[in-house]
Amino acid sequence: MRTRDWFHALADALQGLLGDGEQFLAAYAGEDSDFVRFNHGLIRQAGHVRQRTLSIDLIHGRRHSSASVALVGSLDEDRALLRELIGQLRAQRALLQDDPHLLICTDPASSVREEPDLLPPAITLVAAVQSAAQGLDLVGILARGAIEAGCATSFGQRSWHSVHTFNLDWSCYSAPDRAVKQSYAGTRWETPELERLMAQARGDLSALARPPKVLPPGRYRAYLAPAAVEGLVGMLNQGGFSCKSHRTRTTPLLRMASGEQAMHRDVNLVQDRLNGLTPAFTADGFRKAESTTMVRHGRLHDLLISPRSAKEFGLTPNAGDEYADSLMMPAGSLERDAVLTRLQTGLVINNVWYCNFSDVNACRITGMTRFACFWVEDGVITAPLPVMRFDDTLYGILGDRLLGITRQRELMLSSSTYGGRSLASALLPGILVDGLALTL
């Protein structure tokens, strides 16, 4: 039986377990993944994970209780698990009060996205990695396989989502404190692209072998690669695009919402669900918007509205959780090969880490540079940089100090495997900035 048919059979079983006046929401999450860990360019560990989880919300009126159960994959055994779980949820619900923000999708809008597996077997990917990384001290992890999601409700909703992705996340070391960090991810594997990245790593490792240049604190012209842009822009997912955060005035874009601040008119930030990898539906059965533009020409435009926020504030939901899990920034006109020439003298920042808000109201972010950051003079890399702290506002970095946005963009998939592989993604360019504040 196909997984989708098995999930539908479980939904039908749940329908038969309902009592008078009861409704259910059921959200399925599953994966069929190969994992391979590398150390010194060699296979350290290889394994396979197949897991299936069903989360059920049992509703009567405005009272509801929810829980998740790990499924076996056998229809008879899983039906027995659901019968036991429904009994437990009824007992819990009797102790709960009404939920004033409960919003149920009573108009089923079923959808199916079931992508074919276009990926080579894991053993083929491993061979390609080891060949491309020959002679490099590479440490990292490769994940590949199917990720599934489903939604079923007592109102007839039957939605299904299945995609096959790979994610190779690695670092290459030249010394214990000097490394190049890279990633390659997507739904189609291209060995030439991996080889291009490994060649870039070799060039960066050669530059890392030079004596480092220590810079005094100050503001420096800088190029931020897509991975560094993700680290900064990704901070806006902490309430920047959230309807709830804006209504409660806890958003880091408060000054932007009031019209006091704006970003550069070339900056556009979009939740591009249609071209992303996440499901078209929420766990509550609502259909997500295909595209939501949060920042348009440097100004706040639309927000992400969850079903609970929609109920609380009298709006229409367009998202599940209120964060951009298919974040996209449109390309600019700056060619990647021309970045160093345009930069002239300044910083190349490939990665950032430990990012946090230093002043939420000003959308000011602090963090550290990390992995293969360089000093450039007259368009030529001359020295690696030690780890340094930056502290600056996105209104400056993406505002009046923004000089250019690259035409080339990189797709970055979340490498999170906490509880299961993630489908969150970001398609982002690099940016050239006339001044990034380094504090120490």
For the domain made up of 3-206, the CATH class stated in words is: alpha beta
CA–CA separation, 269 vs 298, rounded Å? 9
Check: CB of residue 179 under 8 Å from CB of residue 201. no
391-432 confidence digits (pLDDT tens): 999 999 999 999 999 999 999 999 999 889 999 999 999 999
Q: How confident is the model at residue 109 (pLDDT cuts 50, 70, 90)?
A: confident
Residue pLDDT, tens place only, 121-176? 999 999 999 999 999 999 999 999 999 999 999 999 999 999 999 999 999 998 88
Q: Is pLDDT at 181 greater than 90 in this prediction?
A: yes
The per-residue pLDDT for range 360-380, each reduced to its tens digit, is 999 999 999 989 999 999 999
- Provide the residue ranges of all domains of the chain, joining segments of one domain with +: 3-206, 210-261+330-438
164 to each of 143, 277, 435, how far by Cα in Å?
11, 9, 40
pLDDT at position 176: 83
Kindly state the DSSP code that residue 437 receives in the 8-state scheme. Answer: E
- Is the model's pLDDT at 1 over the cut of 90? no
Is residue 440's pLDDT more than 90? no
Quote the CA–CA distance of 36 and 31 in Å, as a whole number. 16
